[in-house]
Amino acid sequence: MKLPNNNLGFTLIELLVVASLTVLIMLTVTIMFTTFLVASQKANIQQRVKSEGERALSRIEFILLNSRQLVPGLDGATSCTNDPDVPMTNIAVEGLDGHITTLQAYPEEEPKIASHSTAVNDYYYLTSDETTLSNLEFICLSGAENSHYLNVSFDLKIGSGAEADRETTIESFSTGVTLRN
């Protein structure tokens, strides 16, 4: 009498193959998810830098467009170098209210774009503590009838590493304004 052959289980090799495939699929999904998170974090940091830089440019343009005239800057002599090869590190304008507003990088240790007004005799920062400012330059060119063209440029950085670091972003900003005076 022969007993029926009831192989109801799996062999060890079949179980190892299924386990290996499951591990490979989970590893692939984990890598894809991690890559998505890193890309999302980098995009978020880039958006914050762009937003802050554009807000600072907008405020600088507002100050310059609503000025009466250029006045000597912090060095006490230069109001416009009229040389594109010699950028200035600060610019001062007399506002419509008669007060002097100076745009510059301040403080020296952890610079931000600062607006110093004689109306309140204090600094108003156009960039936050989260960003690091570098290369703030003003190029001033004189035109006909005592008009002035100002080009403002600067770099903002969030993060402490190199630009390729996933938690660090550096953006350059620039704008040009023709003063009404």
> Which of the residue ranges 35-44, 67-76, 136-145, 159-168 would you say has the lowest mean pLDDT?
159-168
Split into its structural domains, the chain has a count of 1
Q: Is residue 2 part of a domain?
A: no
Phi, psi of 6 (to 5 degrees): -105, 90
Q: Is the pLDDT of residue 73 over 80?
A: no
Please count the other Cβ atoms lying within 10 Å of the Cβ belonging to residue 152. Answer: 23
Q: Is residue 12 part of a domain?
A: no
Q: Is the pLDDT of residue 180 over 90?
A: no
**How much is the average pLDDT of 16-25?**
95
| Cα–Cα distance for residue pair 111/107, rounded to 1 Å | 5
Q: Is residue 65 part of a domain?
A: yes
**pLDDT top residue among 78 and 68:** 68
Q: Is residue 22 part of a domain?
A: no
54 CB contacts (<8 Å, ≥6 apart)? 173
| Cα–Cα distance for residue pair 133/108, rounded to 1 Å | 10
- Tens of pLDDT along 42-58? 899 899 999 999 999 99
Q: Is residue 25 part of a domain?
A: no
E strands present in 72-147: 90-95, 100-106, 112-117, 122-125, 132-142
Please count the other Cβ atoms lying within 10 Å of the Cβ belonging to residue 136. Answer: 26
CA distances to 3, 53, 99, 112 from 162, in Å = 73, 19, 41, 19
87 CB contacts (<8 Å, ≥6 apart)? 81, 137, 138, 139
pLDDT computed for residue 82 by the predictor:
84
**How much is the average pLDDT of 66-93?**
83
Q: Is residue 129 part of a domain?
A: yes
Containing domain of residue 104, as a range?
A: 31-178
